[in-house]
Amino acid sequence: MRTSQEMMDVILGTAKQDARVRAVIMNGSRVNPLVTPDRFQDYDIVYFVSDIESFTRDHSWVDVFGERLIMQMPDAMQLYSGDGSNPHRFAYLMQFTDGNRIDLTLITTAHLPDKFDSLSKVLLDKDGIIPFLPEANDSDYHVKKPSEKDFAACSNEFWWVSTYVAKGLWRRELPYAKAMMEGPVRNMLERMIAWYIGTKNEFGVSVGSQGKYFEYYLDQATWNAYVATFTDGSYENCWRGLFAMCDLFIKIGGETAESLHYHPPVEMQVYEYLEKVRRMPQK
């Protein structure tokens, strides 16, 4: 596996040698002082270029970065509604055979962002086009305090879609039940957990993408309760997981509501309905 120095040498060496590349910024975890470095950290790189079309007409130019295991170009994929409609931006997501990964975004110099990500570090600026940036920090990713309206909407969505899960489990429609459970219901649970962590830390921390830092901020009992919400494909275990989600939502939602002086997100009539459906005999 190439070292970080070797990777930076090829990233910056390519930029320095190519007159079309006018500036380079690094984003993400590699410039976050709060993240412990490891071998799986991506190199989140932005090249600000004078002419983007000269790069995208022949994608083989990225071969310079190394032997690739796989590459994705989301701006050129219909899966991501990519149709070339933004001529000023293009991304190459590259996983290399040696384990390194570069997420490289090209942006035209004529369309510099109005605001730069707080996790940004200037690596190269040939023309002085990048404005002064403060030292990289994760402030853009801190959990934001919800409004009372957003808090109530999260609660409503959690309990509303939980009835879909129950219906799917009773009908023995596992794909549907799991999609509802691991989609909308879990999304609302994890949103509430993020707010819960935010209240404990004065909304001054980031829980990471998909809550990947939850374990660092939750006490052991709450973390164990969260882990218990993950289930296999057994219908009985899915029922247990659903009620584990409900119990945790009630607990952390109540504490969060108290901290924010909001109405608690408890819908006991829905909880009781879920229990009735679980006990309901199959036809």
Number of Cβ within 10 Å of residue 108's Cβ equals 18
- Residue 266 is predicted with a pLDDT of 77
> With bands split at pLDDT 50, 70 and 90, how would you rate the model's confidence at 187?
very high
Distance of CA 186 to the CA centre of its chain: 14
CB 223 within 8 A of CB 251: no
Do the Cβ atoms of 253 and 265 come closer than 8 Å?
yes
Q: In the predicted model, is pLDDT for residue 283 greater than 70?
A: no
Region 109-118 average pLDDT: 93
Running DSSP on this structure, what letter comes out for residue 117? Answer: -
pLDDT for 128: 95
**Sign for the pseudo-dihedral over CA of 67, 71, 75, 77:** positive
198: tokens are 């935010």
Per-residue model confidence as pLDDT tens digits over 59-102:
999 999 999 999 999 998 876 655 556 889 999 999 999 999 99
Does the pTM of the predicted model rise above 0.75?
yes
